[in-house]
């Protein structure tokens, strides 16, 4: 029997959740506020910034004049979406094999794949940089698509494996009895049934690729630089330009924030897929 929730307990939970949400969102809110201040006002005390300074959009104008925002934006779109789509193309067959043709070492393989995420990226920076240099992939979208796909591939496979395990194997067996080939089984039977999980996997990995800074800063210079490099360009030996840096940050996170807001229902649905029997 479900436990009754008293009004006081519900109010307490709501207040705690609201405070935690505010704590997590406050850095974004503060960056948004600083982006509408002048450079002189942005370095003042917090209370003075809030109540004793004016509002201006000059930082946004300066950022657009100094940098080609839309070039960096399209680089981010191509790199994040491209790496996610390529990752799904590789991960779907891999997750299918692990979920429906399990072997004795399936769990070990999954743990080995996940363990690669525990390696500090700087540990493999030099060999990957040299490989990219020799192959002519430095400062290229193709190179970044490939490296970000490889970085996020363990997460994609793990998530898809979890979703696929929730699909009854008898459905696939029935498709085989009706004469479905392996290709048709994966494309026309398995994939449509796992759409919620695949959608949430795609959304999560687009966000991860969009926010990736280490590899994009070390493997690009100008041509393929995404929005993470666009933000970093406002931290220079000359000093930190807080207002311009905040404006650039808002311009970089706004697209992915809007996408996350409108897709949050699908994202939550996919992430909780199979959690309740």
Domain boundaries, the chain: 67-233
Identify the pLDDT of residue 269: 64
CB contact at 8 A, 245 and 163: no
Looking up tokens 């290709």 gives 183
Identify the pLDDT of residue 121: 87
Angle, vertex CA 258, rays to CA 13 and CA 191, nearest 5: 90
Give the Cα separation of 93 and 235 in Å (integer): 43
Give the Cα separation of 185 and 167 in Å (integer): 13
E-state strands within the chain: 235-236, 239-240
Give the Cα separation of 201 and 155 in Å (integer): 8
- Find the radius of gyration of the CA atoms of the chain: 23
Identify the pLDDT of residue 275: 47
236 SS3 class? strand
For residue 252, give Cα distances in angstroms to 58, 97, 150, 191. 17, 38, 24, 32
Residue 100: CB atoms within 10 A of its CB come to 16
Q: Which of 79, 83, 34 is nearest to 59 (CA)?
A: 34
67-233 CATH: 1.10.3720.10
Identify the pLDDT of residue 270: 60
Measured in residues, the chain has a length of: 277
Identify the pLDDT of residue 77: 93
Identify the pLDDT of residue 174: 82
For residue 180, give Cα distances in angstroms to 64, 121, 187, 230. 54, 42, 10, 49
Mean pLDDT of all residues in 59-86: 90
Mean pLDDT of all residues in 77-86: 93
Mean pLDDT of all residues in 172-176: 80
CA 225 to chain centre: 17
CB contact at 8 A, 42 and 34: yes
Burial 131-168 (b: 16+ CB within 10 A, else e): ebeeeebbebbebbbbbbbbbbbbbbbbbbbbbbeebe
CB contact at 8 A, 258 and 207: no
**Model confidence at 2: pLDDT above 70:** no
Mean pLDDT of all residues in 258-265: 79
Residue 204: CB atoms within 10 A of its CB come to 19
Mean pLDDT of all residues in 56-85: 90
**Model confidence at 37: pLDDT above 60:** yes
Secondary element (H or E) of residue 39: helix 39-42
**Model confidence at 147: pLDDT above 90:** yes
Mean pLDDT of all residues in 104-122: 83
Identify the pLDDT of residue 273: 56
């Amino acid at each position: 029997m479900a436990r009754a929730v008293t009004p006081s307990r519900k109010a307490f939970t709501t207040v705690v959740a609201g405070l935690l949400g505010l704590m997590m969102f406050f850095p974004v809110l503060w960056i948004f506020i600083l982006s509408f201040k002048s450079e002189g006002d942005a370095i003042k005390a917090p209370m003075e910034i809030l109540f004793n300074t004016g509002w201006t959009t000059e930082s946004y104008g300066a950022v657009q004049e100094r940098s080609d925002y839309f070039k960096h934006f399209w680089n981010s779109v191509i790199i994040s979406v491209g790496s996610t789509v390529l990752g799904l193309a590789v991960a779907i067959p891999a997750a299918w094999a692990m979920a429906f043709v399990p072997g004795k070492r399936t769990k070990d393989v999954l743990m080995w794949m996940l363990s690669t995420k525990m390696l500090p990226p700087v540990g493999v920076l030099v060999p990957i940089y040299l490989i990219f240099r020799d192959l002519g992939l430095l400062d290229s979208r193709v190179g970044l698509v490939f490296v970000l796909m490889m970085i996020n591939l363990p997460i994609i496979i793990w998530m898809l494996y979890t979703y696929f395990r929730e699909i009854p194997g008898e459905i696939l067996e029935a498709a085989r009895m009706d004469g479905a080939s392996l290709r048709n089984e994966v494309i026309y039977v398995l994939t449509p049934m796992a759409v919620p999980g695949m959608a949430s996997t795609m959304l999560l990995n687009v966000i991860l690729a969009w926010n990736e800074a280490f590899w994009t800063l070390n493997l690009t210079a100008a041509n393929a630089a995404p929005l993470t490099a666009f933000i970093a360009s406002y931290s220079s030996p000359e000093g930190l330009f807080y207002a311009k840096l905040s404006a650039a940050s808002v311009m970089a996170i706004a697209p992915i924030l809007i996408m996350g807001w409108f897709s949050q229902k699908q994202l939550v649905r996919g992430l909780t897929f199979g959690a309740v029997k």
